[in-house]
Homo-oligomer: A and B are copies of this chain.
Amino acid sequence: MSANPYIKQYLMTAGPTPLPPAVSGVMAEPIAYHRAPAFIEVHASALARLREVFQTRNEVLSFASSGSGALESAVANLARPGEPVAVASAGKFGERWAELCSAYGAELTHLDLEWGEAIAPGELERTLAGMERPPRAVFVTQSETSTGVVHDVRALTEVAHGHDAVICVDAVSGLGAVDLPQDEWEVDVVVAGSQKSLMCPPGLAFASVNERALALAAESGGEGSGRYYFDWARTAEGQAEDPPNSPFTPAVTLWRALDVALGLILEEGLPTVFERHGLLARAARAGVEAIGLERFGPDDDDANVVTAASLPDGVDGAAVPKLMRDRYGVTAAGGQGRLKGKIVRIAHCGYFGAFDIVIALTALEAALGDLGAEVEPGAAAGAAQRAFAQAGRAPEPVA
Q: Are A203 and B105 in contact (CB under 8 A)?
A: no
Alpha-carbon separation in the docked complex, A339 to B196 (Å) = 42
Residues A251 and B66 in contact in the complex (CB < 8 Å), given A105-B224, A226-B105: yes
Closest to A247 in B: B68
Is A248 in contact with chain B by the CB < 8 A criterion?
yes
A33 and B19 contacting across the interface, CB-CB below 8 Å: no
Question: A331 to chain B: which residues have CB within 8 Å?
Answer: 33, 36
A223 touching B31, Cβ below 8 Å: no
Instruction: Tell which of B35, B66, B102 touches A248, judged by Cβ atoms closer than 8 Å.
Output: B66
Instruction: Give 1 or 0 for each of A54-66: 1 = CB within 8 Å of chain B CB.
Output: 0000000001111
Q: Are B24 and A25 in contact (CB under 8 A)?
A: no
Interface of A is mostly: loop
Which B residue's beta carbon lies closest to that of A66?
B248
A255-287 CB mask vs B (1 if < 8 Å, else 0) is 000000000000000000000000000000000
Report whether B202 and A3 are in contact in the complex, using a CB–CB cutoff of 8 Å: no
**Cross-chain contact A249 with B28 (CB below 8 angstroms):** no
Which residue of B is nearest A2, CB measured?
Answer: B37
B16 touches A32 (CB 8 A): yes
A248 near B68 with CB under 8 A, answer yes
Taking a contact as CB atoms under 8 Å apart, the answer to whether B223 and A253 are in contact is no
Residue of B nearest to A226 (CB): B226
Of A17, A225, A251, most B-chain CB atoms within 10 Å: A251
Q: Separation in Å of the A259 CB from the closest CB of chain B?
A: 15
Q: How far is the CA of A288 from the CA of B249 in the complex (A)?
A: 27
Verify A27–B30 contact, CB threshold 8 A.
no
Contact A11 B30 (CB under 8 A): yes
Rounded to whole angstroms, the CA-CA distance of A72 and B230 in the bound complex is: 10
Q: Chain B's nearest CB lies how many Å from the CB of A389?
A: 30
16 cross-chain CB contacts under 8 A: A3-B36, A18-B31, A24-B29, A27-B28, A27-B253, A65-B248, A66-B229, A66-B248, A66-B250, A102-B222, A102-B223, A103-B227, A104-B228, A229-B230, A251-B254, A253-B254
